[in-house]
Amino acid sequence: MRMRNKYRKPTTFRCNAGSRCSTSAVVWSLVGCFFMFQLYTLVRQKDRLGGEIQFRVSNHPQFHELEQVEEENIQIPPPRKRSPRAAKRKPRRPTTLIDEFLDENSQIRHVFFPQKLAIDPMKDTANDSYYFYPGRIWLDTDGNPIQAHGGGILFDEKSRTYYWYGEYKDGPTYHAHKRGVARVDIIGVGCYSSNDLWKWKNEGLVLAAEKANETHDLHKSNVLERPKVIYNDHTGKYVMWMHIDDVNYTKASVGVAISDYPTGPFDYLYSKRPHEFDSRDMTIFKDDDGVAYLIYSSDDNSELHIGPLTEDYLDVTNTVRRILVGQHREAPALFKHEGTYYMITSGCTGWAPNEALGHAAESVMGPWEFMGNPCAGGNKVSRLTTFFAQSTSVLPVPGFTGSFIFMADRWNPADLRDSRYVWLPLIVGGPADRPLDYNFGFPLWSRVSIYWHRKWKLPQGWSGWKRI
Ligand code: GAL
């Protein structure tokens, strides 16, 4: 026998005295409302799109060329011939482009790590001048490969010069033990200066490894990664933050160093676990109001933490927020455009490349929303591997609102000193093509795009060239 459920709600609702609405009427009116809302959002999007395109064209048509989607077709070589016995012993699994990238004996190694061609500002005249070639060896003005991996660029207002700081890795790659990751002893932080972002002069090691004292954070047997420098307008000091670790990455700390000059030498102050949390990949970000923030991967790289630094930039404050919780992101690179904060991150696969993701926020402390993969052009695999590279920093191009340089590292774990730089134009504009978290399926913010180019240069007329 079927019992009547006395707790079940009636399927009709009283709308107002005397009238009754059926469930379907309510459902249909809800559907109607939702439809109207989506229509409204679409119209708004379209308006924004129109406005955005106009804005882009009228503001910097020169950059438009760099927004062209450039496809790249990389052919996987046919499998090498093997003896029938070898083939029987171990059947070959299909080779992917990522396998080829990770295989140091790959027949197409030169595609990812070209050996013969280099960006050489002292030789490349006329036709090749000022061209960036992502993945090529990049020589400094002395003719040596630039050593500034996992780095970032400071524009020094006083000298109107760019300084590029990064890991100086010009030593042998080895494994400290069987299960250890490929590494190079700490040599120090390299610094290069430039007026045009293309010709870089080696300014030497601005923070050097400690050779004798084994207990020192900077002892060569430890790890120093992702150094970044910002200038403190109050104290007049240049402050460097970096990832400090031991050989097994269990110290998981940040280190701080300070200098009176952008070219150092930097005095190493101390290391700590920020907010008492483990901290591995990290960056710092200086906002327009002068407040600077530390952003680091924490809780075993499962989430990021963000918090303001003290006024002198020498420590963190007690304020911290957990962001991208459970998303396992690292290599954060932050930038700001028209009041919105953006961040590019990578997944956590060591030296192997993986998919970049964009995130956006109205407040630097969050909440941060997911924006999808910003990579455009190349091919599917290269888009899924950030063009075989990993984010490290995003640099605004002066004079071109909404235009940035995305700086990434194409790591070569077989020979880390030979890791390459992948710099590409990053443009903020147009509607995002992936739904964000809280917008009922329609994008709310501008799309962030990183455009693949085999070669590209900054348009004439950006202020770096004029040396204003
Ligand atoms: C990556 C990280 C690099 C380096 C590497 C070591 O995940 O982004 O900076 O730490 O691991 O395997």
CA of 53 to the centre of ligand 1 (A): 38
pLDDT value of residue 4: 40
Number of neighbours of residue 405 by Cβ within 10 angstroms:
18
Q: Which helix (H) or strand (E) holds 363?
A: none
- Tell me, yes or no, whether 33 lies in a domain: no
**Mutate which of 226, 279, 281 for ligand 1 pocket (most atoms within 8 A of beta carbon):** 281
- Tell me, yes or no, whether 303 lies in a domain: yes
In angstroms, rounded to a whole number, what is the distance separating the alpha carbons of residues 312 and 288?
16
Hey, what are 193's tokens?
């200066």
In angstroms, rounded to a whole number, what is the distance separating the alpha carbons of residues 195 and 75?
38
Convert the pLDDT of each residue in 155-168 to its tens digit: 999 999 999 999 99
Torsion of CA 88, 94, 96, 98, to 10 degrees: -50
CA of 109 to the centre of ligand 1 (A): 21
CA of 354 to the centre of ligand 1 (A): 12
Among the residues of 249-324, which ranges form H helices?
none
Percent of the chain predicted with pLDDT > 70: 82
CA of 256 to the centre of ligand 1 (A): 19
Handedness of CA 455, 460, 464, 465 (dihedral sign): positive
Atom of ligand 1 nearest to the CA of 413: 12
Q: Which segment of 202-206, 367-371, 460-464 scores lowest on mean pLDDT? A: 460-464
Between the ranges 104-108, 177-181, 224-228, where is the mean pLDDT highest?
A: 224-228
Question: 27 falls in which pLDDT band (50, 70, 90)?
Answer: low
Kindly report the protein residue whose alpha carbon is nearest to atom 6 of ligand 1: 350
How many distinct structural domains can be found in the chain? 1
- Tell me, yes or no, whether 19 lies in a domain: no
Atom of ligand 1 nearest to the CA of 346: 8
Number of neighbours of residue 340 by Cβ within 10 angstroms:
15
pLDDT value of residue 228: 98
In angstroms, rounded to a whole number, what is the distance separating the alpha carbons of residues 313 and 258?
10
In angstroms, rounded to a whole number, what is the distance separating the alpha carbons of residues 378 and 408?
15
Kindly report the protein residue whose alpha carbon is nearest to atom 2 of ligand 1: 350
pLDDT value of residue 373: 96
Q: In the predicted model, what is the mean pLDDT of the chain?
A: 86
pLDDT value of residue 59: 52
Give the domain extent around 59: 54-74+96-451
- Tell me, yes or no, whether 42 lies in a domain: no
In angstroms, rounded to a whole number, what is the distance separating the alpha carbons of residues 261 and 266?
8
- Tell me, yes or no, whether 457 lies in a domain: no
CB 427 within 8 A of CB 404: yes
DSSP string computed for 18-42: TEEEEHHHHHHHHHHHHHHHHHHHH
CA of 411 to the centre of ligand 1 (A): 9
CA distances from 347 to 123, 323, 450 (A): 38, 15, 17
Phi-psi category of residue 466: left, alpha or beta, with phi > 0 → left and psi -120 to 50 → alpha: alpha
| CATH assignment of the domain containing 305 | 2.115.10.20
Convert the pLDDT of each residue in 110-154 to its tens digit: 999 999 889 999 987 667 889 999 999 999 999 999 999 999 999
Kindly report the protein residue whose alpha carbon is nearest to atom 5 of ligand 1: 350
Convert the pLDDT of each residue in 51-101 to its tens digit: 333 333 335 677 788 888 899 888 888 877 777 777 777 766 668 899 999
Nearest to 330 by CA among 266, 399, 249: 249
Q: Is the pLDDT of residue 16 over 50?
A: no
Q: Which segment of 18-32, 272-286, 397-411 scores lowest on mean pLDDT? A: 18-32
pLDDT value of residue 220: 98
Atom of ligand 1 nearest to the CA of 181: 12
CA of 283 to the centre of ligand 1 (A): 13
CA of 362 to the centre of ligand 1 (A): 29
- Tell me, yes or no, whether 27 lies in a domain: no
In angstroms, rounded to a whole number, what is the distance separating the alpha carbons of residues 153 and 169?
18
State the burial class of residue 277 (Cβ atoms within 10 Å of its Cβ: 0-12, 13-18, 19+). Answer: middle
Average pLDDT of 39-53? 41
CA of 351 to the centre of ligand 1 (A): 6
Question: 22 falls in which pLDDT band (50, 70, 90)?
Answer: low
pLDDT value of residue 26: 67
pLDDT value of residue 42: 43
Q: Answer whether 0.75 is exceeded by the pTM.
A: yes
In angstroms, rounded to a whole number, what is the distance separating the alpha carbons of residues 280 and 272?
12
Atom of ligand 1 nearest to the CA of 225: 9
Q: Within 6 Å (CB) of ligand 1, which residues are found?
A: 150, 181, 225-226, 281, 330-331, 348, 350-351, 390
Convert the pLDDT of each residue in 338-395 to its tens digit: 999 999 999 999 999 999 999 999 999 999 999 999 999 999 999 999 999 999 999 9
Nearest to 412 by CA among 390, 395, 429: 390
Question: 280 falls in which pLDDT band (50, 70, 90)?
Answer: very high
pLDDT value of residue 128: 83
Number of neighbours of residue 242 by Cβ within 10 angstroms:
29
Atom of ligand 1 nearest to the CA of 226: 9
CB 448 within 8 A of CB 52: no
Q: Which segment of 68-77, 170-179, 252-261, 380-389 scores lowest on mean pLDDT? A: 68-77
In angstroms, rounded to a whole number, what is the distance separating the alpha carbons of residues 297 and 136?
29
CB 154 within 8 A of CB 231: yes
- Tell me, yes or no, whether 2 lies in a domain: no
Atom of ligand 1 nearest to the CA of 349: 7
In angstroms, rounded to a whole number, what is the distance separating the alpha carbons of residues 22 and 30?
13
pLDDT value of residue 463: 64
Convert the pLDDT of each residue in 399-458 to its tens digit: 888 899 999 999 999 999 999 999 999 999 876 665 565 566 555 778 899 999 999 999
Q: Which segment of 65-69, 82-86, 217-221, 224-228 scores lowest on mean pLDDT? A: 82-86
- Tell me, yes or no, whether 148 lies in a domain: yes
CA of 150 to the centre of ligand 1 (A): 9
In angstroms, rounded to a whole number, what is the distance separating the alpha carbons of residues 335 and 273?
24
Atom of ligand 1 nearest to the CA of 249: 10
Average pLDDT of 290-294? 98
Q: Is the pLDDT of residue 397 over 80?
A: yes
CA of 420 to the centre of ligand 1 (A): 15
